[in-house]
Structure 1
Amino acid sequence: MSADRPHILVVGGGYVGLYTALELQRRAKKARITVVDPQPHMTYQPFLPEAAAGNLEPRHVVAPLRKTLRGAHVITGYVESVDNARRTATIVPVMGDPYELTYDHIVLAPGSVSRTLPIPGLKENAVGFKTVGEAIYLRNQVLGELDAADSTDDPALRQAATTFVFVGGGYAGIEALAELEDMVRSAVKYYGTISQSDIRFVLVEASQRILPEVGPEMGAYTVQRLLDRGIDIRLNTRLESCVDGHVKLSDGDEFEARTIVWTAGVKAHPMLANTDLPLDERGRVTCLPTLQVVDPEGNVVEGAWSAGDCAAVPDLTSDTPGATCSPSAQHAVRQAKRLGKNIAILLNGGQPVNYEHKHVGSVASLGLYKGVAQTYGVKTKGFVAWMMHRAYHVSRVPTFNRKVRVISDWTLALFLRREVVALGQLHDPRASFELFATPSSPDPKTVVEAVATAGGPTPPAKPAVPSDTPAEAEKAPVVPARS
């Protein structure tokens, strides 16, 4: 560690990690910046539904960290533990042995992971929707099921293949469901034995409303629009079991479904439990409005900062005592910029400034040309809300390069129909090679499965939803969700 070149370690390359590092590069030019993340890119999560539906190229919704942060050292790996008293973090790289890295300041921004429940069959049969890998998988899964349904003469299998269940009525669930339903309705015309009436989308929500962020009126409007599209909405209903794709709901209904998407909330990343920093009852790092970590006695923890989904940051604009900022991209990006500025201010001998931002509202897409929005108290719906959704998010996606690519994708979509083909072999590209490399003659049925549907319409063999057990999540956080 050097007073002339302070070392700043950024844990996580999501919203907070990327934007904090960018701000530090502008304002703390003498500092050495290290960013650690299991993925070499930042994912712009609001665009995942459009990537899954084929409106956007998946590569265009991610920003490569090394290209975007050319002055920083990017480590592809994850932080296993932090000992802030010694100013050290244990790094586990994708290759090689773990090692300790010292720092002067640490920015904890691993973000959040899917908040799962001990529901029988969920771990084995469901997929989350927080990463670009999950978005690509879900697209291939849905289209692969249509291929399978069109190729079988078993009505029970066809019904299961054309039933798609989404659990959770927040932004992620509603936008993913709406975009994919839009895509499936467009794709069905290419399948000779599947009709629109065969398609069934089911939304399961434990509370009595969806999209609480846009208010009761817009939430009710969204429910009505989804019902008009033939989507089966179950409010005040819980998923009780999905063993082997047999879905059981708390309202007593049971049916088969080969696609189950879990979007029922998030929680702070479990790696935070492996630090010596103070956490609140929800496992989030406790912070001051300056984004400095603070202990229960109100003392600043020197050298430690946090923001985003994994941080409990006081909301200075709220009238509710003890209120903290909501886990949204709107707060994360603004907190990150304030955090980067505050570290630079502190390095120059100044006093950090409080983060204060009043939530301006929310926008949500309900598929092509459809949306809802509530901004500055003004309610908007339909095409105008959809345009607001796109305009807002293209303004927030990082780097000019990505903005141009996203706009280009949208422009081409005005003239060319979207592609509706499954690339299932992406999930297991070596399956057919391994099969034919085997000396013995393979069974014909095995050949068909390996060549045509490798990694395709069947549920993932390994759990796609991050484990609810911290120890398990820390052992293999391959693609953790991030702020």
Structure 2
Amino acid sequence: MVRKVRRKPDPAAGEDLPHVVVVGAGFAGHTAVRGLVRRLRGRARITVIDQNDHFLYLPLLPEVAVGTLEPRRIAVPLAQSLHGVDVVLGEVRHIDVDERTVAWTDPEGGSGQVTYDRLVLAAGSVNKLLPVPGVAEYAHGFRGLPEALYLRDHLTRQIELAATARDPAEKAARCTFIVVGAGYTGTEVAAQGVSFTAELARAHPALRGVSPRWMLLDIAKRVLPELDERLSHTADSVLRERGVDVRTGQSVAEALPTCVRLTDTDEEVPTHTLIWCVGVRPDPLVQDIGLPTERGRLVVGTDLAVAGHPEIVACGDVAAVPDVTRPGSATPMTAQHATRQGALAARNVAASLGHGTPRAYKHSDLGFVVGLGGTDAAANPLGVPLSGLPATAVTRGYHLLSMPGNRIRVAADWLLDAVLPRQAVQLGVVRGQHVPLETGPARTG
């Protein structure tokens, strides 16, 4: 368990209180900070450092991309949700574990540094890139609000350009959309994107009779391979009923400006849209700290502490937390585990400061939910497989309970979407060069 360690006073603090620094305000970090505030009750200084000024509820990002939800609905301001905490807006560049310092760079090029008595590492994850030629240059990532807003504009623009295209081949290419990765995000993007673009196309007389073509590719044998086969079958059926061309066991061999070449068959598919939802990898920050890692994740014990550095705990996607329900493996990189590990990190850090008792991490999955748009969803709460309207009710109820704010606004947007048509216009607020796949924002916890 995390042991008490002698603190080094921070000369800049101006007060003799232990200083807890949390890196990252995603699912793990945000939960950890809230837990620390509740447990320490002003008996320590708490600082959270993140490159965003908000907590982003990533599971609902596909609904932002297709216009169901406005972007601010899934962005909860840190200044409002984390009372009594120093919020530093910046990207952590270096952590010195010997000197116990954290250095960062702010959005305008400034820099800062702070010392800590306890450090909670919850930096999250970034896009997972595979060595596929052309992907970094031509694919769209999908890990943050800028990417979702850009994708919404892009989908709208392709339909509008297709409506004015005289060349049938160009019209077809602009109406073809390819998603790589049939996990949670890719499946939701394809399921909701095909409905969104079909609605856009119906608004243009020149596209009467034209159905946008969506392809979902994955090298796995089925969509949603992480879920029970019955739920996978439910999602697969919904996708195919909506006209999505689901291809398992196949992926992209090369991406080009106006087409992609597929694996196995070398088939070339003309398109202007390649959406990359292959997965995530731990934030590279942890590799530079100099502490032991396992597949890019910090090696920690079941108490989340780093061996040899009891003042440091790690949680969420950056931590290889032993999974006691599956000996020999680490817990999966999911929001559910990140949230619960964040809560435990707060408990154990507070205990190391003399407030409460520490515990080890043990958690079994409570189930998963996948929103497919409209009244379609797949869910298995407590292992009970659901589909259709019951699954939609469970999915939306779960999201509302899990969000740390904006619940009424989200519910209101869902209600309005059910009774009013969406307003499909290009906003032009995010340009392509601001959402590169290899460096897109992705702090999830």
Coarse TM-score class (shorter-chain normalised): over 0.9
Work out the CA distance in 2 between the residues paired with 1:419 and 1:5.
52
Tell me which residue corresponds to 2:120.
Answer: 107
Tell me which residue corresponds to 1:20.
Answer: 32
Is 1:308 the counterpart of 2:332? The answer is no
Q: Residue 331 of structure 1 aligns to which amino acid in structure 2?
A: H
Work out the CA distance in 1 between the residues paired with 2:193 and 2:132.
25
Work out the CA distance in 2 between the residues paired with 1:353 and 1:172.
32
Preserved CA contact (<8 Å) 2:238 2:376: no
Tell me which residue corresponds to 1:395.
Answer: 401
Is 1:236 the counterpart of 2:244? The answer is no
Q: Residue 404 of structure 1 aligns to which amino acid in structure 2?
A: I
Tell me which residue corresponds to 2:5.
Answer: none
Tell me which residue corresponds to 1:10.
Answer: 22
Q: Residue 19 of structure 2 aligns to which amino acid in structure 1?
A: H
CA distances 1:179-232 after superposition (whole Å, capped 9, x unpaired):
111211222221111135441001111111111232122212322221122111
Preserved CA contact (<8 Å) 1:124 1:461: no
Match of residue 34, structure 1, among 38, 47, 54: 47
Tell me which residue corresponds to 1:446.
Answer: none
> Any idea what SS the aligned residue of 2:228 has?
helix
TM-score (ref. length: structure 2): 0.93
Preserved CA contact (<8 Å) 2:146 2:435: no
Aligned length: 431
Preserved CA contact (<8 Å) 2:190 2:239: no
Give how far 1:261 is off: 0.5
Tell me which residue corresponds to 1:471.
Answer: none
Work out the CA distance in 1 between the residues paired with 2:30 and 2:435.
28
Give how far 1:463 is off: 6.1
CA distances 1:104-135 after superposition (whole Å, capped 9, x unpaired):
11111110111111211111111111111111
CA distances 1:270-293 after superposition (whole Å, capped 9, x unpaired):
11111132211x110111111112
CA distances 1:426-458 after superposition (whole Å, capped 9, x unpaired):
12xxxxxxxxxxxxxxxxxxxxxxxxxxx4xxx
Preserved CA contact (<8 Å) 1:182 1:368: no
Tell me which residue corresponds to 1:474.
Answer: none
Summarize the alignment of residues 248-287 of structure 1 with structure 2, pairs less than 5 Å apart. 248-250=261-263, 251-280=265-294, 282-287=295-300
Work out the CA distance in 2 between the residues paired with 1:67 and 1:123.
36
Work out the CA distance in 2 between the residues paired with 1:462 and 1:71.
33
Preserved CA contact (<8 Å) 2:190 2:244: no
Over the matched positions of the two proteins, sequence identity in percent amounts to: 34
Work out the CA distance in 1 between the residues paired with 2:138 and 2:401.
36
Summarize the alignment of residues 40-439 of structure 1 with structure 2, pairs less than 5 Å apart. 40-195=53-208, 197-250=210-263, 251-280=265-294, 282-294=295-307, 300-316=308-324, 318=325, 320-348=326-354, 351-399=357-405, 402-423=406-427, 425-427=428-430
4+ residue segments displaced more than 6 Å = none
Work out the CA distance in 2 between the residues paired with 1:143 and 1:94.
30
Q: Residue 284 of structure 1 aligns to which amino acid in structure 2?
A: R
Preserved CA contact (<8 Å) 1:165 1:203: yes
Preserved CA contact (<8 Å) 2:25 2:443: no
Preserved CA contact (<8 Å) 1:315 1:324: yes
Preserved CA contact (<8 Å) 1:188 1:196: no
Tell me which residue corresponds to 1:481.
Answer: 443
CA distances 1:323-363 after superposition (whole Å, capped 9, x unpaired):
22111111111111121121112211654211211101111
| Distance 1:196-1:51 versus aligned 2 partners, 3 A rule | farther
Give how far 1:21 is off: 0.8
Preserved CA contact (<8 Å) 2:20 2:45: yes
Q: Residue 67 of structure 1 aligns to which amino acid in structure 2?
A: Q
Q: Residue 9 of structure 1 aligns to which amino acid in structure 2?
A: V
RMSD: 1.7
Structure 1 segments unaligned to the other structure (5+ residues): 295-299, 428-454, 468-477
Work out the CA distance in 1 between the residues paired with 2:208 and 2:254.
29
Work out the CA distance in 2 between the residues paired with 1:272 and 1:17.
15
| Distance 1:196-1:69 versus aligned 2 partners, 3 A rule | farther
Q: Residue 130 of structure 1 aligns to which amino acid in structure 2?
A: R
Give how far 1:36 is off: 1.0
Give how far 1:461 is off: 4.3
Structure 2 segments unaligned to the other structure (5+ residues): 1-7, 10-14
Work out the CA distance in 1 between the residues paired with 2:296 and 2:95.
15
Work out the CA distance in 2 between the residues paired with 1:152 and 1:237.
30
Preserved CA contact (<8 Å) 1:7 1:103: yes
Q: Residue 409 of structure 1 aligns to which amino acid in structure 2?
A: D
> Any idea what SS the aligned residue of 2:215 has?
strand
Give how far 1:377 is off: 2.2
Work out the CA distance in 2 between the residues paired with 1:230 and 1:415.
24
| Distance 1:196-1:221 versus aligned 2 partners, 3 A rule | farther
Q: Residue 23 of structure 1 aligns to which amino acid in structure 2?
A: G
Question: Which range moves more in the overlay, 107-116 or 271-280?
Answer: 271-280
Preserved CA contact (<8 Å) 1:160 1:258: yes
Work out the CA distance in 1 between the residues paired with 2:444 and 2:48.
13
